[in-house]
Structure 1
């Protein structure tokens, strides 16, 4: 996925700290400027909201998050009026 955009060294530190507090994250590796974020399992609604916020805040490619849509979260995750919808699912 497209790597994050940092605005200072402390901003980068804050992003990795935030990512480390999302308990669903198994590990994070880098390839050039890209991050590979692996999850332990499907996220809860709150964990998915944290991932959405993190990806949005740090201007990361949100399209990989589309695979996390389930019948259980579709009612809010697929909301066309949400700030993340275009980034995750594209414009409709």
Structure 2
């Protein structure tokens, strides 16, 4: 079974912003392929992401304001405690 995720991608404000986003995404080892089509971002996974990999995706999604509902299938008792499931980065920092 091929694990995939599709989400409306972020808005980039500079070439460096875009490079930082994709560089971070490429460092998440469970991701085997990244494709973009217009504003839609498609990711394929080698296997079900570990709790640590889900949290890395969660942080990335929050920082670039992507729709977290795409990550819900990977939310479980091992990663569901993370504050960024409930709060934005700005809210989490103020807490």
TM-score normalised by L of structure 2 = 0.75
Large movers: runs of 4+ above 4 Å: none
- Give the number of aligned pairs: 82
Asked if the contact 1:52–1:84 (Cα under 8 Å) also holds between the matched residues in 2, the reply is yes
Helix, strand or coil: the match of 1:47? helix
Give 5+ residue unaligned stretches, structure 1.
88-92
User: Unaligned 5+ residue runs, structure 2?
Assistant: 1-6, 89-95
Alignment root-mean-square deviation, CA: 2.0
Bigger share in strand: 2
* Equivalent runs, 1:11-90 vs 2, <5 Å: 11-70=17-76, 72-73=77-78, 76-77=79-80, 79=81, 82-85=83-86
